[in-house]
A and B are shown apart, each in its own frame.
Chain A
Amino acid sequence: MKFERYGLGIAKGLSVTIRHLLRRPITTQYPEQRLNVSRRIRGNELIWNKDKCTGCGTCAKACHIGAIHISTSTNLVDNKYEVQKYEVDTGYCIFCGLCVEACPFEALFLSYDYECARYRRNDLFQDREKMVETSERKVSGYFYPGRAAKLPRQSLLVDNDRGKRNGR
């Protein structure tokens, strides 16, 4: 004789919910506590290495959105291109990472940041000053496993270690 229909089902359910009182909450309180994002995150900005860039424009060709604007001039003395303008409109960018994969000289990266909301559309433009790698604007390990190895391990909501979840 099964007693699920005779009130046992409800009792079982009640015991489940009361046991949840002792469970640790799964919530991360975002601005104070943060999870580490994936080391290969395709973050919301592009990071550009001015010294390695040859101005070949492969990234701009790879971008099917047309979000990358690059214009170069010819330096006849050193026999190479010089980049005059390098801009990305991250408002159009879909963060597919094709430009990063296309770059033959390891000069373009996706960033590790994900908090890039701006108040004005114009602020979404990244010109060359805003594309330099700094301590705040970190480089993601996307497409570059060597870079990824240096970043902190990703932490998950199911991680039991609270310190791991808080840390950056």
Chain B
Amino acid sequence: MAMQMLPPDWPGNFWAHWAIFAVAILVFVLLMVMVFIWFERRALAVMQARLGPNRAGPFGLFQSAADALKLLIKEDIVPAKGDKLVHWLAPVVAFVPVVLIFAVVPFWGGAILADLNIGILYIVAISSVTAVGIFMAGWSSNNKYSTLGAMRQVASVVSYEIPVVLSVVGVVLLAGSLSMQQIVAAQDIPFILLQPLGFLLFFCGALAEINRAPFDLTEADSEIVAGFFTEYSGMKFGLLFLAEYGEALAISAIVTTLFLGGWRGPLLPPFLWFLLKVGLVFFVIVWIRATVPRLRIDQLMALAWKFLFPLALLNLLITAAEILFWPAVSLWVFVPINFAVMIILVLLWSKFFKLGWGKVEV
């Protein structure tokens, strides 16, 4: 496949490149978040035999814009006994890393703000900062629900970071590079076929990190009001909400880049392929939200440490062994092998998965 690559400083000037892509990324994130919120509400509604928002504009397309406007003009309430500075700072700390992630996401060949040679490591590092912002939000609200939600968030992020990173390492081993561009370039076979177990682990872990259902117990509305959101209103609530969906968008983009071949695909222009794949991944996220009930906190922790973590280690070991001992073989050979390995391992681990020495129901 011929790869259309733009030069790394595409319009020819470093600063022009920087300015154009910075603006483009901001617009992309804000626009896609609005589209995603609309899309999630509509898709979820259809799956529940409802209609979803359909009043503002055709098919309710302007609903997110109307909601954003409403949030902008709402009163900004700060709890009287809260930590005002931290309360003000938290949404910013939560949102900025989400935008920063997109600096290394390749939209198509060469269309990338900075092709860091440690791209995926940068993403792992920067995306964890969001947890700090969320913990700040929970702490500064001076509210038991906020604090509980924030503590659950930190616990889940710290636990799920490990299987996520370990499953990313499998991809990095296959691609031989940490750069997002190189990872896409290496995917003549999409890595979801070569790393099915890695994909499964990464997807589960990523869902937990961004608090999407079924791991949304940090903002479980039936237990702890709205978690760390509880004391927020107005634009600060809007920013936290934006960070939430920005993370979902980022995870969709990262899954697309790491496992689904990024912007590569036949016929259609690369950017359209990228958007299509991102949309597909987000649809799966919504689909899972419509299906699976919420986990308890002990189930969440057990899943991370007893299920995903050992499987991620084994996946890493098997991938490394394959690359080390059969470097010359065509990669297609590994597709059936890895699928078989995935099925066997998942069945085996499900068999022995227990909570509280078997005294607590799974």
Contact = CB atoms under 8 A, between A and B. Distances in A.
A118 interface: no
Given A6-B351, A7-B346, A20 B288 contact: no
Given A14-B287, A18-B287, A25 B50 contact: yes
B46 A10 contact: no
Contacts of A29: 51
**Category for how many chain A residues contact B:** 10 to 19
Contacts, number: 43
B347 interface: yes
A27 B51 contact: yes
Interface in A1-22: 5-7, 10, 13-14, 16-18, 20-21
Q: Which of B50, B291, B346 has the most CB of A within 10 A?
A: B291
B350 interface: yes
Interface residues of B: mostly helix, strand, loop or mixed?
helix
Given A20-B49, A21-B46, A21-B47, A14 B347 contact: no
Contacts of B51: 25, 27, 29
Contact of B346 (A6, A16, A17, A25): A6
Given A25-B46, A27-B51, A5 B350 contact: yes
B49 A23 contact: yes
Interface in B11-62: 43, 45-51
A117 interface: no
Interface of A: 5-7, 10, 13-14, 16-18, 20-21, 23-27, 29
12 contacts: A6-B346, A10-B292, A14-B287, A14-B291, A17-B47, A17-B287, A18-B287, A20-B46, A20-B48, A21-B46, A25-B49, A27-B51
Rank and list the top 4 A-B pairs by shortest CB-CB distance, nearest first: A6-B350, A13-B291, A17-B291, A17-B290
